[in-house]
Structure 1
């Protein structure tokens, strides 16, 4: 695990100002201080150093930075320096009223070590959970149109009109989102260093749908692989691996725990007699250790083990749904992710993520990116994570985020004392 211990900056916002900050010994640091002291600037500079982005340092008038860090062993503190090359003149070129700067005048030679090539980061700006009103189509508008037209006679009941309106609303929203995907500023999770500002809810929906479809694809491939591997063993003349009847009780419990996912994967497979029999057995059996068949228990166990081998990708959506739904359960809301889209189930109705409250949008944005991507990042920087969150959510937010990304160092800039109510060791004052 990477960990930044201290940073010393010569030239902070102005060339005459210096700054030294020693971070918390905990995996989370909360930077606090008066308005205008430079907390947001510090996060940007940290991100600039980690990503080796000269333009960020130049824009903040940085002359030199000493970074103290550890990798794995907390006792082995290392130091690297990046500084402005005095002999390198900034060349200004004016052409057709366009001014450009040659900014590669920082010496990054000490950052060429192989260990820095593996470091990754995410910087969250304050513009999170933004909605695009242009693709928020209210089903009530469709219902009103049908009520005023002759088309309402085509529907047998009022409930069918409502169902049609909600389905059409979802379809139009997804279609517009899909057509605009290429022109939007999509979040590219493959980038080693992400600067996440202006995160809209449509981007979050796309990330969730893509992850869900990937999980489904992996699940189906794993189940198919298990099916053919087991049949291959069964057809082998020399094999005696499937000579026993039933399976141990612990293995039976393992199959039961994955039963719904197995049924879902098998249902997506081409129809055949074996597939139908497996689904029937999964739906009816409660104890696979007593199954009087030599092939089916071994086949189901093999499929279950294949699913467990891809546990991270398959469980990320489940974890997100559970964590988010735990926060909004009192309001009778529930996040649902499907192959076709993402929506919020609310009593008997449903609505898009764009119709969530501002606090809920901020929360689902943070949770989505932490659960799906955060665990793979060395450093996660967040500007004002408390935005729009109620006091109760604020108090448990950082502990929750640390649990979701235990191998990442989390550094936040905040004005809220509620973030540190139970975690005063996280606090780092900025003078």
Structure 2
């Protein structure tokens, strides 16, 4: 996990003076007119986090320095890319091709020096391929897959693009939700072990007294066992449950433990539940997001009938794609270009707050020229380009 702390860019769009700015751990809005370099800055940040020097070659910039704080290493790592070094490296690559024309063993390799065309790190670290974990959502975020047919080379139809959106969104959702369900299963297994331990333990003589309201305890434990599809078998009637909870110490310890585990399950489910609530609250005409039998996201109309996500408007698609990516980002950086695209003005006003509600641990970096997006953002979190 890592986040960006400082950026310095030389020669952005031919500027004579470098631009330099700090980035906050939570929220950052890069603000400016169209064509002012906002998108280029985001691409530089993505390239630095990805350790991708090839992307930098196509950007109108001479040099970039990006400081990234590594949570694992507990230090700031300076990432530097220099076009001059990249040009020298390309010359070295050309020389390497020339060397291959010599018969084996006849070229004096000891005189050859190569220059790294990629990002240089200080201090040097060995990172996994792809660099630091992060998410970059460009303006083409709805279709982050190849939008051209491999066989014919023709652009995809509108229907095929809708199908691609549905596929990409549900792949991302299922990847996230499967991790949530895995945590829930682990908690449930702990609950079963707790029940077995207390059920097999010697009778406890010390009386601690009820810690929960018996009726509240009944509802919480019933909810826990309902996830196991065994609520009635496990609990019996409400009256018998209350009596046992008030009089049997071992039973009470089991119930109190299951109550804590149910609270842990609810906590693990909060982001996913909140995601669907937020989306549903922002949608109009009574539409809401629900899960089908395969745990895929689907649209539910006011009359209860289902509808594919592919039928959503452009603004609604952007909203789902962005919020899902933000929720899945964890403590890493999420970089978004023009989140206001196709968004209703009310959504723009709630955008940053909604993302922070879904994932308060991510570093949010957005480029925007919408006053509504930054309406409630503190000045120190706004970078003017």
**Shorter-normalised TM range:** 0.7 to 0.9
SS in 2 for 1:331: coil
| Residue correspondence of structure 1 range 156-235 to structure 2 within 5 A | 200-235=165-200
* CA positional deviation for 1:303: 3.0
Do the aligned partners of 1:343 and 1:350 also contact (CA within 8 Å) in 2? Answer: yes
Deviation at 1:265, TM superposition (A): 1.6
The TM-score normalised by the length of structure 1 is 0.66
Say which is worse superposed, 124-133 or 344-353, in terms of deviation: 124-133
Which residue is 2:277 aligned to?
A: 322
Deviations 1:91-143 (A, max 9, x none): 3699xxxxxxx99513514152489999532111112345972497xxxxxxx
How far is the alpha carbon of 1:43 from its aligned partner?
Answer: 0.3
1:385 Cα deviation (Å)? 0.5
Change (3 A) 1:323 1:421: same
Query: 1: distance between equivalents of 2:364 and 2:132?
Result: 14
Distance 1:324-1:297 versus aligned 2 partners, 3 A rule: farther
- Going from structure 1 to structure 2, the CA distance change for 1:254 and 1:320 (only over 3 Å counts) comes to farther
Q: Match for residue 366 of structure 1? A: 322
Displacement of 1:310 after TM fit? 5.6
Q: Does 1:126 align with 2:139?
A: yes
Q: CA deviation at 1:297?
A: 4.0
**Contact conserved, 1:248 with 1:289, CA < 8 A, in 2?**
no
Whether the 8 Å contact between 1:370 and 1:405 is mirrored in structure 2 is yes
Alpha-carbon distance between aligned partners in 1 of 2:236 and 2:315, rounded to the nearest angstrom: 44
Alpha-carbon distance between aligned partners in 2 of 1:67 and 1:357, rounded to the nearest angstrom: 37
Q: Secondary structure at the match of 1:420?
A: coil
Work out the CA distance in 1 between the residues paired with 2:169 and 2:242.
Answer: 40
Structure 1 counterpart SS, 2:90? coil
Q: State the alpha-carbon separation in 2 of the partners of residues 252 and 347 from structure 1.
A: 34
Alignment partners' CA distance in 2, 1:259 and 1:228: 17
Q: C-alpha distance in 2, partners of 1:133/1:285?
A: 57
Question: What is residue 46 of structure 1 aligned with on the other side?
Answer: 45
The 3 A distance-change label for structure 1 pair 227 and 294 is: farther
Task: Give the match for residue 10 of structure 2.
Answer: 10
Which runs of 5 or more structure 2 residues have no equivalent in the other structure? 98-113, 144-156
Give the structure 2 partner of residue 305 of structure 1.
260
Per the TM alignment, residue 287 of structure 1 is displaced from its structure 2 partner at its CA by 6.5
> Aligned equivalents of 1:258 and 1:21: distance in 2?
55
Which of 111, 117, 127 aligns to 1:105? It is 117
- The alpha-carbon deviation at position 26 of structure 1 amounts to 7.4
Give the C-alpha shift of residue 4 in structure 1: 3.7
Q: Find the counterpart in structure 1 of residue 212 from structure 2.
A: 249
C-alpha contact 2:89 2:117 (8 A) present in aligned 1? yes
Q: Distance in 2 between matches of 1:301 and 1:396?
A: 39
**Is the partner of 1:249 in helix, strand or coil?**
coil
TM-superposed deviation, 1:404: 3.0
Moved more, 382-391 or 114-123: 114-123
Matched residues in 1 for 2:355 and 2:80: separation? 30
Partner secondary structure for residue 341 of structure 2:
coil
Q: CA deviation at 1:402?
A: 2.8
Matches of 2:243 and 2:52, distance apart in 1: 57
SS in 2 for 1:376: coil
Cα offset, 1:290, TM superposition: 5.1
Aligned partners of 1:103 and 1:357: how far apart in 2?
49
Q: What do you get for the CA RMSD once the two structures are aligned?
A: 4.0
Query: Which residue is equivalent to 2:34?
Result: 35
In structure 2, the CA distance between the partners of 1:285 and 1:44, relative to structure 1 (3 Å rule), is farther
Q: Is the contact between residue 334 and residue 363 of structure 2 (CA under 8 Å) also seen in structure 1?
A: yes
Q: Which residue of 1 aligns with 2:311?
A: 355
Structure 1 contact 128–361 (Cα < 8 Å) conserved: no
Task: Report deviation, 1:78.
Answer: 7.7
Q: How does 1:355-394 map to 2 (within 5 A)?
A: 355-371=311-327, 373-377=328-332, 379-394=333-348
Task: Name the SS for the 2:330 alignment partner.
Answer: helix
Please give the alpha-carbon distance, in whole angstroms, between the structure 2 residues aligned to 1:3 and 1:285.
54
Distance 1:106 1:77, change over 3 A: closer
> What is the Cα deviation at residue 397 of structure 1?
0.7
User: How far does residue 343 in structure 1 lie from its aligned partner after superposition?
Assistant: 1.5
